[in-house]
Structure 1
Amino acid sequence: MLPNSLSQTGASAADFDDLESQVTSCDRPDKPEEACGVFGVYAPGEDVAKLAYFGLYALQHRGQESAGIATFPKDHPPCLHKEMGLVSQVFNETILNTLVGELAVGHTRYSTTGTSRAVNAQPALVPTRLGHLALAHNGNLVNTPILREELLRNHHNLVTSTDSELIAFAIAEAVDSGKTWLEAGIHAFNRCQGAFSLVIGTPDGIIGARDPNGIRPLVIGALPKANSSDPTRYALASETCGLDIIGAEYLRDVEPGEMVWITNEGMTSYHWVPQPQPKLCIFEMIYFARPDSVMQNESLYTYRMRIGRRLALESPADADLVIAVPDSGIPAAIGFSQASGIPYAEGLIKNRYVGRTFIQPTQSMREAGIRMKLNPLRDVLQGKRILLVDDSIVRGTTSRKIVKALRDAGATEVHMRISSPPVTHPCFYGIDTDSQDHLIAATKSVEEIAAQIEVDSLSYLSWAGMLEETRDDPANFCSACFTGQYPVPVPEPLKSAKLLLEKNFPSLEAIASA
């Protein structure tokens, strides 16, 4: 009853390591790379594995390296299936039919800690005196070495290189010491420092929890009832789009420092932190979360259009057309067009069926300008002054290629506008960013970046404008990647591994007044 299919394709973990080593930094996307997606559903009488499958399918933009689902049949050990690959590659009807139970926990992964290997796929399944727990985690801990050392000292058999497994074993350790699921969860959460949004399956119910800052999102939904007298069945997801796909109604967010407990008796809430300090990652708003997901009581499409309008007011330009880097730059480009009066058009077509590939083009293909992801529309661009909108620039490598492609397609001028401030600092809370010396804005001025990516002009959205357009208290967001002001203290060894520059960056006051 514990199927744990980590590699039905026949590829070993070492094979994936070999493939991973072939992917150089210049082959990676020129963006902050994804977090992870978590999903949970408590729905006795429903096909919970299929509900989890579709929930993960909707959350796959948050991670495409591996996927997994654990289910808990009543009075039986849990069932688990996880593998490397996309959700549609990992699961089929036959596999889903083996995943029976009253509740399910799912995860789709992008590796932010631990290598991209099958053994690191989630959910993490750990035995306890009360039965197994299955844990799905979105975020990053900053005290991983200390927690790992403590657990190894207590003779726990750690099998992965992820911080997620450490959280699972910390809960199991507390359960085995005599605590209930809820007591153990709170005890373990207090040992964790950093970002964690968790969905935890147990034989008795599902736990959903967020760290005291709520850096990564987690929402609660209710599935439709067949009859008004039926008990409410609940779902948890990283974003509301994971609820929409299964027809669940969004109820609310799990609050920072809150734990919810979902059983056949309903849902109860426990605030395990006396004074939480909300610090939602602002990049969730700008880029990561799907545009149809709801945050701050509106779709992110609406927010992204609004920052595009703000960008047009802050950094106008003379141009014939506004175009976007698809897909993430589209809402801001539309907003820029609306505010500036410059017509919006599609100038770049994205191949939406391109995922991560380990097959590298030959040098002759590179020289011929192989375009796997974006292709310009020559008849749209020919002879035009182009205003190009994107959501961020990290290394600048992709931006330069796009600008060159636009010029090769006949654009006479290319002006670039970015709907976020310059990224100058790495993230330690669940987004995979380069070390600081690889972030172009950490080493170059805006003018130097413009020269490197070969645009006629370049402007970024102001830090104040980005936060003001959330229409919430700016103090409720983490924007450390733009300011270096980290809401959760980062231990010095971890900090020094990625903060490699001695450059004097502007103070928060200077950024706010820019």
Structure 2
Amino acid sequence: MAQDSGAPEPDDKLHDECGVFGVWAPGRDVARMTYFALRALQHRGQESAGIAVGDGKTVLVRKDLGLVTQVFSDADLAAMPGHVACGHCRYGTAGAKGWEAAQPHLSTINNVIIALAHNGTLVNFDDLRRELIDMAIPFRSNTDSEVAAKLIGYFTQRGHRLRTGIAHTMRMIEGGYAMVLVRENALYAFRDPHGIRPLVLGRLGDGGWVVASETCALDISGATFVREIEPGEIIRISDDGLRSERGCRPLTPANCIFEHVYFSRPDSVKDGSSFYLMRHRMGARLAQEAPVEADLVISVPDSGTPAAEGFAQESGIPFGTGLIKNRYVARTFIQPTPELRQMGVRLKLNALPDVVRGKRLVMVDDSVVRGTTSLQIVRMLKEAGATEVHVRSASPMVTWPCFYGIDTANQDQLIAANMDLEQIRSRLEADSVAFLSTEGLFACVPPNGYCTACFTGAYPVQIPRSFYEEKFLPGYEPNNLAPASKTSQMTLVQAEELLGQEG
């Protein structure tokens, strides 16, 4: 038996690595605006939080481990005056942890201080980091965000303009990313050429601007949604207004489909539809594809609720509250004892025996990824008196790892990659199990281009073998839909020569 490490068991959800926010609003309390925006984005990351503020002369950063409310006090925010800011909340994955991994990442370019907030993963950052280290460029962490900041500094020093540094960095890096950067007097935002990670632009009524991972952060800021930052686009906001230019050539759109399934808040909006409405459609479609005779539809709260409501409406089976969520359980650095950890999901959820006793239940969740939580919930419901529990997932089977900013780097963690449907049913101790089809999912979302690598193994950005070595099960090989860009295959010296040729 493996020795107990004291670490919490992984839950049954995919986790996005972070949320980002930026604001340019002279005359406004930008630090406080960023604080409340990060609270709206807290679901995207709970390990650390940070805010950087530019006051026209310098950039001040405050960041630490913990939730947004744990990191910042009223006094902290009052001590950060300025007119431009960016913020970040981070979900810790298997990569770097600790204070240096918290963002925004602070760096210097000659006498200019920059702070960078990054959502996503760069698949070629190891090679770039080694090359920068060989050039005697120092690093304080092993994060891909610091690699991006150092690259921007490297190319800015040679191109003599920050936007030039950003553009050449975008041509060197591969992966999914949405980044927000501040200097003392300007805000920058840019997005990967496939648009894998989300980034939206909003306008404040007094002429200010905000950028964010989701529209819910615009809402709390009082901003009006303008548009998405385009794939490959760089925007700069300063006293000169908003300027847009192409950092790199946009490629085949590959929006992360799990933003629709789970990551984004239900009240956030994309293409004119709320994610709540899209998830409601997924549940209705699931009821069509995988009907079952039952007495009650319940959700795994809160993320499974829109799909469960859709399933109930379509099937005609009543919807009820069979599970109660403890909304005051937040990420903590105090680990439970082994005995408490065996209670697992009961720290967050508890069954309502008066509702489920004697009932045949349809338990709808947004997804079933590892199966760990689903097993505990099925057991809990049956202990509470449910006669049958039929598990329904409002997303297709997740069978492939993600390398673009989600914490499933190893395929052996994924229940659907290791078992067939009957084995999954047996493993979850359920009476039946069904997943929404990929065709059904696409029928419920706007007709945009999506990254579906987690379902299909078709990766829009080439995954270097050094990056995925030993992360796939035997017999699996990624299907790289496109080769890496020519510029990303260059050395920094070759890229610098290209910069000189472009003037």
Q: SS state of the match for residue 258, structure 2?
A: helix
Q: Provide the C-alpha distance between the structure 2 equivalents of 1:153 and 1:209, rounded to a whole number of angstroms.
A: 27
Equivalent residue, structure 2, for 1:239: 214
How far 1:497 moved relative to its partner?
3.0
2:399 aligned with 1:417, yes or no? Answer: no
Preserved CA contact (<8 Å) 1:437 1:501: no
Spell out the pairing of 1:26-65 with structure 2 (5 A cutoff).
27-65=9-47
Closer/same/farther in 2, CA of residues 254 and 21 from structure 1, 3 Å limit: farther
What are the superposed Cα offsets for residues 58-90 of structure 1, whole Å, 9 maximum, x if unpaired? 00100000011111111x221110000000010
Question: Identity of counterpart residues, as a percentage?
Answer: 49
What are the superposed Cα offsets for residues 195-226 of structure 1, whole Å, 9 maximum, x if unpaired? 1100010123111100001111000011122x
Equivalent residue, structure 1, for 2:459: 486
2:287 aligned with 1:312, yes or no? Answer: yes
Spell out the pairing of 1:71-470 with structure 2 (5 A cutoff).
71-74=53-56, 76-112=57-93, 114-129=95-110, 131-225=112-206, 232-365=207-340, 371-470=346-445
Preserved CA contact (<8 Å) 1:130 1:175: no
Q: Provide the C-alpha distance between the structure 2 equivalents of 1:371 and 1:280, rounded to a whole number of angstroms.
A: 34
What are the superposed Cα offsets for residues 67-122 of structure 1, whole Å, 9 maximum, x if unpaired? 11111111x22111000000001001111111111100111111246322111110
Amino acid at match of 2:15: E
2:468 aligned with 1:495, yes or no? Answer: yes
Q: SS state of the match for residue 237, structure 2?
A: strand
Closer/same/farther in 2, CA of residues 368 and 440 from structure 1, 3 Å limit: closer
Q: Provide the C-alpha distance between the structure 1 equivalents of 2:344 and 2:218, rounded to a whole number of angstroms.
A: 41
Amino acid at match of 2:121: N
Amino acid at match of 1:432: D
What are the superposed Cα offsets for residues 259-305 of structure 1, whole Å, 9 maximum, x if unpaired? 11111121111122334221010001100010101112211000000
What are the superposed Cα offsets for residues 170-217 of structure 1, whole Å, 9 maximum, x if unpaired? 011112224201111101111110011000101231111000011110
Q: Provide the C-alpha distance between the structure 1 equivalents of 2:367 and 2:209, rounded to a whole number of angstroms.
A: 36
Q: SS state of the match for residue 313, structure 2?
A: helix
Unaligned runs of 5+ in 2: 482-503
How far 1:481 moved relative to its partner?
0.5
Q: Provide the C-alpha distance between the structure 2 equivalents of 1:505 and 1:84, rounded to a whole number of angstroms.
A: 35
How far 1:130 moved relative to its partner?
5.3
Q: Provide the C-alpha distance between the structure 2 equivalents of 1:431 and 1:90, rounded to a whole number of angstroms.
A: 24
Q: SS state of the match for residue 190, structure 2?
A: strand
Preserved CA contact (<8 Å) 2:6 2:337: no
RMSD of aligned alpha carbons: 2.0
Amino acid at match of 1:413: E
Amino acid at match of 1:176: Q
Equivalent residue, structure 1, for 2:6: 22
How far 1:366 moved relative to its partner?
5.6
Q: Provide the C-alpha distance between the structure 1 equivalents of 2:79 and 2:201, rounded to a whole number of angstroms.
A: 26
Amino acid at match of 1:446: L
Preserved CA contact (<8 Å) 2:6 2:338: no
Q: Provide the C-alpha distance between the structure 2 equivalents of 1:363 and 1:261, rounded to a whole number of angstroms.
A: 50
How far 1:393 moved relative to its partner?
1.3
Q: SS state of the match for residue 389, structure 2?
A: strand
Q: Provide the C-alpha distance between the structure 1 equivalents of 2:17 and 2:344, rounded to a whole number of angstroms.
A: 30
What are the superposed Cα offsets for residues 131-177 of structure 1, whole Å, 9 maximum, x if unpaired? 11110000000001111012112211110111001100101111222
Q: Provide the C-alpha distance between the structure 2 equivalents of 1:197 and 1:189, rounded to a whole number of angstroms.
A: 11
Amino acid at match of 1:33: H
Q: Provide the C-alpha distance between the structure 1 equivalents of 2:312 and 2:214, rounded to a whole number of angstroms.
A: 28
Preserved CA contact (<8 Å) 2:344 2:376: no
Q: Provide the C-alpha distance between the structure 2 equivalents of 1:357 and 1:110, rounded to a whole number of angstroms.
A: 13
Moved more, 311-320 or 32-41: 32-41
Q: Provide the C-alpha distance between the structure 2 equivalents of 1:216 and 1:469, rounded to a whole number of angstroms.
A: 20
Q: SS state of the match for residue 138, structure 1?
A: strand
How far 1:370 moved relative to its partner?
7.5
Preserved CA contact (<8 Å) 2:65 2:71: yes
Closer/same/farther in 2, CA of residues 366 and 492 from structure 1, 3 Å limit: closer
Q: SS state of the match for residue 328, structure 1?
A: coil
Closer/same/farther in 2, CA of residues 407 and 68 from structure 1, 3 Å limit: same
Q: SS state of the match for residue 318, structure 2?
A: coil
Preserved CA contact (<8 Å) 2:166 2:247: no
